[in-house]
A and B are shown apart, each in its own frame.
Chain A
């Protein structure tokens, strides 16, 4: 800590930071543009000028840029100094010279950093009389809209896109006052994080193209604190609704997870909620055709059917913990089955077993890892936001040189200049190329078993107690040695794996490496690594998180939550049906994605009553005798457990419209009809209480967010900004008397603009706003200190206690995979846009999603004399699929790449041996 004097008063600040960081942390309003808490300082915009004085006697002082000046002990500065104020006003005036007269039709208006800063500096009259510079826009794809006239040349976009997110197809062009930010020609932005440009841009150059189609100002939206449903990372979101329609998603800051950024799947996948694939009406299939039912009658029918004692339930990894638990209460523990393929359930159980011994690293602590091994996971496509964090990890080792040179880490371009192209150790072993390959020091390709063998070899090299790998190829052995050496010499090594390859051995290998690293750590007494300014422990991190050496990407938002409820394997559900179970309740799940189509057909045909609860229309709901419309995640409250075992509550942005209701309420209503005890549940808290009683392990999930009874000064937390407009006209065309705000019995939030005016706990903070700060930069005002956790701590709780000792090694090293003549090993290849069930229904995402294909390596295609695009037949057991060939030079020979979750290929049990024929 250092003491600095701002306008004559002393303040204690973090000496490792710059003055802008210090001033904002202290709550001062100091305008800025080019600085970003995650991107550091470059001093490009000159907006944060302040006066610095040499000592108490110095009356003249000099103008300095706050973001470029260290908060050194005894520094005397003035924000209010007249000269500094005039300088800042002049800078804004210069920026506004060419800024178009667009605010009324600009999507950034009302949440524009440039607007806020212009108001803050007091510039209100344009004196410049000459022509404004103009630019032509570019088409940047279906997700990001470009309006280049508005640019103020702060360079944040290009710094984020190229330097932070590693994109290559976006840059700054032109010279002098004609700097142009875009692509070299029109085209879809390649980066999976391009949507962040919307939030990074301080004005409206980059805006959300999906939001533009149903545009609503920020002040007019009803927000909710939410969690992303599109992968297992559990990024915090702020979905906004108006007129009963989900309008857009923006990032909701989480100090330990997503920070300031989201991936494009999470940001743009929301549109499925508004789509026509929604299941909107309860539907009973009769001999004469489908019949719509009112909600009450449907629940009664379901309740009557529960009287049958041969009811089984199939849970879902994309439904909330509460919904899964309600289903379990309906059918009983004995008849509760996992809604995932058996192999995946086994993997999830293994992952749980590993994670109970090895703490998982949160995203933000991954950023400070200084040696990384990615084992078998295409992180960008399975847990996208994780890839962005991993990208920052390669900067750590080169940045260790900063300390000796006394360059602070926040001095971004000095730090990058020093690092040049040097990158820290980053190794990727995967079946095919991943989007992180460009930062990897070495790559290794192979079938999942080979990758696992490499992993076991690394673990053995780190800890001799870990089993050795017999018969490893010499190159692999050498690589394992190099990886082990890099991990051993690192301060904060990290191994990342996941369920992507669907390989048990791979997870075990990753666990062994992590265990070995933890052991090394302990032996070397490095439990608290020397904190340098870059890899420093965040105040919120518990020691176990600093100590985390492992991250396992899980497929879906609540995969771990489902596994924690102890479901039986799905194959046993099939057995139960064969043995006479006549009624099956499928919860928010499309079983065609979990089972081969043939098996699913036979299951459905052998059944009396297939009941499907879902928010979207799927092949399963179409086949169901009774299909019940569930609320989508943005209309529902619940808890997801993410890849690190963090339970996080998400809240409805608006009540479920029409006949839809939360899945647990459907089940509760049915239980009430059947006269069972769980039918008395009134609120979400009742479900959580019952859950905690049955699963003491999961009791922590109930504390992930404040209970419904939580109030601030006796009031609920408003979901709407206090300037929400149109209350007396929104529904006046239907009924001129204004309706009361919908009740919300489940949460401490209100569907209203009225309520507690103070900052609520982070878990129930719906959106970022602070007086004078209407843009996303308002997060600065809600954090304990800039870039740290929000006030009240990071949302969510880990559901299992931090493990104390985790050194147990898995001993089953897989044998090298034997090639089979005429057969290929089919492995899943993931796509950020397309592999996930819900997001691919969003129009913007579906436009970017690939068509089903079959990928072969260059060598294999050449050997068979096949050309790209040729129609091939993939034969997997008894199933045949005709697919076009895609030649992937990066695919390991002997493998056949099958896109995961796409079209007819979605239910395949992979990896598996397959045959390939010409069509």
Chain B
């Protein structure tokens, strides 16, 4: 009996408390920058595609929802011919972002992806690629990699000596 009365009293008191219900979507939610939401592909500081199609995100993905195909431009720069994420399977675990050696794939604070048709949740590279570098503004994989690409010859990467002269005989 006392218990019931106590409950009624508590409920009555709640009527005077501050509201916690958020009026979403009129009132947008704050999501911290490291929130693991919709996946994007970023570009390096020079504006080139960051993804080098190494397939590490695909193998890291526990639900196998990433598929891509590597290709190269005429200068040897590798990029994905297509890059597909099936968001109807994605569990937003962030393993792909962890695995990515070039900071290309990033999870963003956006989760508003509801669709009436499942095929609309299949995102291709055009849907994923954003204009900027995302969370990692400074990094450019090609500046540290040893392969030469257009605009960066052998020996021009960070921490690299110029190409060896094989004809010199100095000890």
Residues of chain A touching chain B, judged by Cβ–Cβ distance below 8 Å, are 100-105, 109-110, 130-137, 147, 149-150, 173-176, 178, 180, 212, 214-217, 219-220, 243, 723-730, 732-733, 736-737
Contact = CB atoms under 8 A, between A and B. Distances in A.
B46 to A, nearest CB: 17
A565 to B, nearest CB: 42
B98 interface: no
Given A100-B145, A131-B159, A732 B154 contact: no
B13 interface: no
B66 interface: yes
A104 B141 contact: yes
B122 A733 contact: yes
Interface string B145-161: 11100000011010111
B160 A736 contact: no
Given A105-B78, A728-B63, 5 more contacts: A100-B145, A104-B145, A132-B160, A180-B164, A220-B55
25 contacts: A104-B141, A104-B145, A105-B78, A110-B55, A131-B160, A134-B155, A135-B164, A149-B147, A150-B146, A173-B166, A178-B166, A180-B164, A212-B72, A215-B53, A215-B70, A217-B55, A220-B58, A723-B59, A725-B58, A726-B65, A728-B63, A728-B64, A729-B66, A729-B89, A736-B118
Contacts of B162: 134
A99 B43 CA distance: 26
Interface in B36-63: 52-56, 58-59, 61, 63
Q: Among B52, B65, B157, B164, which residue has the most Cβ atoms of chain A within 10 A? A: B164
A149 B171 contact: no
Given A212-B72, A725-B58, A733 B84 contact: yes
B147 A727 contact: no
A730 B67 contact: yes
A646 B58 CA distance: 41
Given A104-B52, A105-B52, A135 B163 contact: yes
Nearest to A149: B146
B165 to A, nearest CB: 8
B145 A105 contact: yes
Contacts of B85: 729
Contacts of A733: 84, 122, 124
Contact of B146 (A132, A180, A727): A132
Contacts of B159: 130-132
Nearest to B171: A176
Interface string B118-153: 110110100000000000000001001111000000
A102 B147 contact: yes
Nearest to A130: B159
Nearest to B146: A100
Nearest to A178: B164
Given A104-B101, A725-B64, A736-B88, A174 B164 contact: yes
A132 B154 CA distance: 11
Contacts of B157: 100
A104 B65 CA distance: 20
Contacts of B118: 736-737
Nearest to B79: A105
Contacts of B163: 134-136
Interface residues of B, number: 48
B122 A729 contact: yes
A175 B171 contact: yes
A728 B65 contact: yes
A724 B78 CA distance: 21
A736 B67 contact: no
B67 A101 contact: no
A819 to B, nearest CB: 53
A493 B164 CA distance: 49
A175 B169 contact: yes
Given A217-B59, A726-B58, A134 B121 contact: no
B154 A103 contact: no
A724 B159 CA distance: 35
Contacts of A176: 171
Contact of B160 (A103, A110, A134): A134
A136 B166 CA distance: 10
B108 interface: no
B130 to A, nearest CB: 20
Given A725-B61, A726-B64, A733-B124, A104 B102 contact: yes
A105 B56 CA distance: 11
Contact of B154 (A134, A150, A730): A134
A180 B124 CA distance: 42
A-B pairs with the 5 shortest C-beta distances? A100-B146, A726-B67, A104-B54, A729-B67, A725-B58
A176 B146 CA distance: 21
Contacts of A103: 54, 101
A736 B154 contact: no
Given A150-B146, A725-B66, A736-B121, A135 B54 contact: no
A242 to B, nearest CB: 8
B54 A109 contact: yes
A729 B164 contact: no
A109 B89 CA distance: 27
Nearest to B143: A101
A185 to B, nearest CB: 11
A110 B60 CA distance: 13
Question: Which of A105, A133, A215 is most buried by chain B, counting CB atoms within 10 A of its CB?
Answer: A105
Contact of B59 (A104, A219, A243): A219
A100 B164 contact: no
* Of A101, A180, A725, A729, most B-chain CB atoms within 10 Å: A729
Nearest to B121: A736
Nearest to A174: B166
Contacts of B65: 726, 728-729, 732
B155 to A, nearest CB: 4
A724 B58 CA distance: 9
A105 B54 contact: yes
B69 A101 contact: no
A725 B58 CA distance: 6
Given A728-B64, A729-B67, A105 B161 contact: no
Contacts of A243: 69
Contact of A147 (B54, B88, B147): B147
A41 B59 CA distance: 36
B55 A725 contact: yes
Nearest to B54: A104
B47 to A, nearest CB: 19
Contacts of B124: 733
B63 A133 contact: no
Contacts of A219: 55, 59
A215 B164 CA distance: 29
B146 A101 contact: yes
Contacts of A102: 145-147
**A109, A110, A136, A732: most-surrounded residue (chain B CB, <10 A):** A732
Nearest to B61: A725
B105 to A, nearest CB: 12
A230 B133 CA distance: 49
A732 to B, nearest CB: 4
Nearest to A725: B58
A724 B166 CA distance: 42
Nearest to B165: A178
A131 B89 CA distance: 44
Contacts of A131: 159-161
A149 B76 CA distance: 15
A135 B160 CA distance: 10
Nearest to B57: A725
Contacts of A220: 55, 58-59
Nearest to A145: B76
B144 A101 contact: yes
B40 to A, nearest CB: 16
Nearest to B148: A137
B119 A736 contact: yes
A155 B54 CA distance: 28
B58 to A, nearest CB: 4
A727 B67 CA distance: 8
A219 B58 CA distance: 10
